A = this chain, B = another copy of it.
Amino acid sequence: MDSSSNEASGNRKTSWKKNPEAVKENILTIATEEFAAQGLSGANINEIAKRTATSKRMIYYYFGDKEGLYQHVLERVYSSLRDMEQALNVAGLEPVAALRRLTEATFDSHVNNPQFIRLVMIENIHNAEYIEKSEIIPKLNKAIIDKLTDVCDRGKASGVLRMDADPLELHWMTSSASFYNVSNMATFSTSFGNSLFTDEGQKRLRRRVVDMVLGAVVVGYQP
């Protein structure tokens, strides 16, 4: 009718309507992209709606408001990453191998989930206000600590790990390197070149991270 106007569009994409879960998923997928790309204030409900297979009204219908949508996005992305961590089976490995495997898996999963990283950065900009409000996110974090506790206990018992090895600190060490690797890639490579972010550079960095972590807790560790 009036092709040049911006807001008054009209035609919906496909018609897989009448499937609430699919509609919600579709909204969340788009919203995840937009919030990860632009942040909470930077993302635009109109833009999200436009890219969606449904309408703006449905966003409000299902998620209440922009903040509600953001919170759902956050919870969904946290869940899926924690699921991934939970799938990691290290109970059968001896402590040092287990630690190595957990560290490498963390490094890799961060590299493979830049949207998660960006959303966590954004959430930190907001002082974790929204995950504090969440009722499901706190429940997700025990698994990884439990795993590390088991590894530490076994390692200390067998004498391969130093007695001051601490599960939480280990998680922090692993996470800091893995997170920063993705979160600060843009500014780091702008400042210092991208040599650490080539395939080769990333391989070296990954090895370094493992060495750092193991070196910090394994008795007599030699790279």
A residues lining the B interface (CB < 8 Å) = 2, 4-8, 20, 24, 38-42, 60-64, 68, 71-72, 118, 120-125, 127-128, 131-132, 137-138, 141, 145, 162, 168-169, 171-173, 175-177, 179-181, 183-193, 195-196, 204-205, 208, 211-213, 215-216, 221, 223
Asked if A128 contacts B216 (CB within 8 A), the reply is no
Determine the residue in chain B with the shortest Cβ distance to A222.
B220
A128 to nearest B CB, angstroms?
4
Pairwise interchain contact A169-B205, C-beta atoms closer than 8 A: yes
Number of copies: 4
> Is the Cβ of B186 less than 8 Å from the Cβ of A127?
yes
Contacts of A137 in B (CB 8 A): 190-191
> Shortest CB–CB separation between residue A19 and chain B, in angstroms?
14
Q: Give min CB distance, A142 to chain B, whole Å.
A: 9
Complexed CA–CA distance, A140 and B173 (Å): 28
A-B contact pairs, 26 of them (CB 8 A): A4-B71, A4-B72, A5-B64, A6-B60, A8-B20, A39-B125, A42-B125, A121-B125, A123-B186, A123-B187, A124-B186, A124-B187, A128-B186, A131-B191, A132-B190, A137-B190, A138-B190, A141-B192, A169-B208, A172-B188, A176-B179, A176-B180, A176-B184, A177-B177, A212-B212, A215-B215
Q: When the two chains form the complex, which single residue of B2, B168, B192, B221 contacts A145, counting CB atoms closer than 8 Å?
A: B192
A175 touches B180 (CB 8 A): yes
List residues of chain B with CB within 8 A of the CB of A132. Answer: 190
Asked if B8 and A191 make an inter-chain contact with CB atoms under 8 angstroms apart, the answer reads no
Across the interface, which residues of B come within 8 angstroms of A212, CB to CB?
Answer: 173, 212-213, 215-216
Knowing A141-B192, A169-B204, A191-B138, the reply to whether A4 touches B186 (Cβ < 8 A) is no
- Knowing A172-B188, A213-B212 touch, does A125 contact B131 (C-beta < 8 A)? no
